[in-house]
Structure 1
Amino acid sequence: RMMVNMLEHDILPVFVATTFSFPETHSLTYIYTAFSKPVELPGIHEFTAMGLLDNRMIDYYDSTIQKKVPKQDWMKERLQQEYWDKGTQSRQSKQQWFKVNIDILMNRMKQSSTETHVLQWMVGCEGDEDEHGNLQFKRGINMYNYDGNDFLGFDDEHQVWVAAADAAVLTKRKWDEVTALKDYTKGYLEKECMEWMKIFLKYSKMQLRDASPPEVHVFTTKAKQSSIVVLTCLATGFYPKEITLNIRRNGRILNKEDGVKSSGVRPNHDDTFQRRDYVEILRSDTAEYTCEVIHPGSNMHKEKTWGKSHSCFSYEFIVFSYH
């Protein structure tokens, strides 16, 4: 009775690997993590769930926000509100399911309720894409982990549950007796998960075609003191808006403690975006300053260097596209 209805419908995200050889392997995976009690640490929630498409997060839920939310623009734009409402209900149900089953495991192992324990579930599928865009099932993933150790997994090929710990044997025996559960699990991994992977890959590739890479500029302007100049790194004209921008001094990334300020991502008039980061430096500084821009939506990684001459011109240092 430990885990019932564990495979209620949920959309699995896809990991998109950027490569030029075929077959190209893709994956769609959901990861659920639950603690036996609240953890008083910043950014750590009693329950979290996330969808991953080719190792890139596409949706997220935690016990604080209590909502399933998109983490990619194409997820937000392509999927209707009904999808997110149903996904929220499913995640809330799973949150309760995890809470019940952690208690069952702790009682089974005679563990104290004053201790903190964690139960994790990873479920999803991998598929190979050929040069014609056809996707074929490669393998399914359905694994439970308890306190950092393998606990229970599903052998998709032989359609049996495999206990990786003594405490999991009881659950394995009960689940192996439920033919409907094994059939559903196998069908989900090999068919339903793969169908969602196809949909998500299609949407993500449509955004990639529509994506606009940023133009990158590095320049200086006068500061209030004549001995100082303001070094600016500007990325503009990009879509979607997710972007990483770093100013480096001799290779080291500068941060707020170094005086770096940012405009944040702002809209342009043509539905693209811009971001401007800047820092004050000594005019006499002979270090090499580099502006690094990473734009996942267009698979662009660009660096531009402002030379030691401290002129108001910049030259392109290195460009990596489709890395």
Structure 2
Amino acid sequence: MLHLIAVICILSAPVYSDSGSHSLWVFATFLTGDVSVPFPEFTAVVSLDDIVIGHYDSDESRFVQKTQDDSVNVTEQLTISTVCKGIHEGMKTKAYYLIDYFNYTIGLHVQQRLVGCELHRHEPGKMMTLEAFNGESGFERHYEIQGDQHTQWKWPVIKSRAQLEYDAWLYAHFYRPLCISQLKKYLKKEKKRVTARVKPRLRVIEQSNSDTGVVQVTCLATGFYPRHINLTLLRDGQPINEERVMGGELLPNGDGTYQMRKSVELSAEEQREKHSYTCTVIHLSLDNKLDISIEPGPDPVIVIPSVLLLLLLCAFGALASFKIWRKMYKPASQQVSYIPTSEADET
């Protein structure tokens, strides 16, 4: 399972889509050896950006669609199923060859592949394939927008020159156009979901160590969509050295949004130096970046974002003004005239 986790981290990193681009990816896994977990030998997940479109596995041998569109396109299902079957056979052949080449004998062996394409502002973009075996990447292929194709091998090449040339031609003239056409279809179906924007909530957490005097400051951005976010810790307006920053992994929430946190430890001496610290976030849902000023100290403090503080001050000001106006301009029906008792008796 450690191999599986490592490979997922390796292959998931390149998946990216900015505000003007979208991508379609197939993430495939082939398992062999001592498989003690109840997984199919081969599985493939198809995703539009970070939305799961459907899945395929070797037990069912068919593509199962998972979209908001209830209609089932039989031709589309057969096409994707055929592609997944081809990926399955290719990965199986390569996995067995690598097991023999590296002289592996026992244990679970994991062969995984990430392949996909991109659209940049409705124009075909690059296509990419990455492969890893037992936690180590060994093959990359990139087909750029300009038509240039680059292939990098770390593993031994098991095909003839003619076979490699045919694979390269097939990649450029069949798989890439097929991927682009499927990407356009799913974009049309899932337009509302892929264009959704949810703003992040930003929070600062401080934890003090009474023994060492060290304060750990954590910036947490959560509840945002899409997944791409820039979360930065600044000291005196400059990014803190990445070697000191802990965390930074993108994690899913249960509601389809995402979260990310980054932390830094500040010594007692750094706290006395009175540096200014800031947690800043840049996200597609925000018109401007979101900042929180941090004042680290030995005791936890509540930090309020400057925008929220301004809104609170405006609210209190408006409430005070309303009370003064109400006091000065009471309706006549609510005004009471006081007449002394003696004067009332005289009348």
Q: TM-score, normalised by structure 1?
A: 0.49
Larger Rg: 2
Q: TM-score, normalised by structure 2?
A: 0.46
**Structure in which a larger fraction of residues adopt strand:** 1
